[in-house]
Amino acid sequence: MGLPKITQPLYSLTLPSSGKEILYRPFTVREEKILLIAQEAKDIEQSILSVKQVVNNCLQDQDIDTMSMFDLEYILLLIRAKSVNNNVTFAIKDPDTSEEVKLELNIDDVIVNRNPDHTTQIRVDDDYVIIMRYPTINEYLLLMKDMNNPQTEFQIMISCMDKLIKGDEVLNFRDFSETEINDFADDLSSPAVKEIKNFFSTMPILRHEVHYTNSAKTEKTFVIEGLKTFFS
């Protein structure tokens, strides 16, 4: 008789980017090993790939390659809460005293922060509006690899143009060739490009502040922002 297959419970969550409800399970020892290796590597790109693998393992029937980065970060936190507990204890180095400070975070307190100036609708002219989509995890990784290349930034900006709307008419950019889309983007006005850049700079972000007092009796704030904080 073989060993039994352990069945994991399923939980639901709402994706911050779309409001869609999805199912996930807690991570097991297999996924915990992946996260530990990623944390020890101190390489943010490798960490993101590892987190992507863990989240992909724990989600039910979801295409993780189409998810935004802040979706991935949010899902990881919820999986961690169900897998271990809501409290995360970690240490930081105080920038003023160089002392090691132990902090505690309640995952339930971490939320996706939304900028009130953020919009996915870009006004092209009096007739047309572009609907933007959030960059995927793979696009985020591409940006990290080629961070100082303006051409890469421009191509990802173009790839995140999802729909073009004029009244009741809806055009999907995916139905057009790369040449047609590039020609369209080349004709955009400076105000429209500025709005698109604002879309990226004001995107929702997983952010939380932890307050503490260092040995010099100075009140300080440590900002948790995205996966870089957890894998730094």
* Lookup: tokens for 49: 């790939």
For residue 160, the model assigns a pLDDT of 95
For residue 23, the model assigns a pLDDT of 94
pLDDT along the chain (232 residues), means of 10: 75 91 91 82 78 90 88 90 85 90 87 93 95 91 76 88 95 95 94 94 90 92 75 50
Q: Do 139 and 179 share a structural domain?
A: yes
> What domain range is 210 assigned to?
11-113+206-230
DSSP β-bridge partners for residue 136: 68
Whether 169 is covered by a domain: the verdict is yes
Whether 166 is covered by a domain: the verdict is yes
7 backbone φψ class: left, alpha, beta (φ>0; ψ -120 to 50): beta
Domain count, the chain: 2
Q: Do 144 and 42 share a structural domain?
A: no
Q: Do 59 and 17 share a structural domain?
A: yes
On whether the CB atoms of residues 224 and 208 are closer than 8 A, the answer is yes
For the range 202-205, what are the long-range contacts, defined as Cβ-Cβ under 8 Å and sequence gap of 24 or more? 202/115, 202/117, 202/118, 203/68, 203/70, 203/115, 203/118, 203/134, 204/16, 204/17, 204/70, 204/112, 204/113, 204/114, 204/115, 204/118, 205/70, 205/112, 205/113
Model confidence, pTM: 0.82
Q: Do 139 and 77 share a structural domain?
A: no
Whether 1 is covered by a domain: the verdict is no
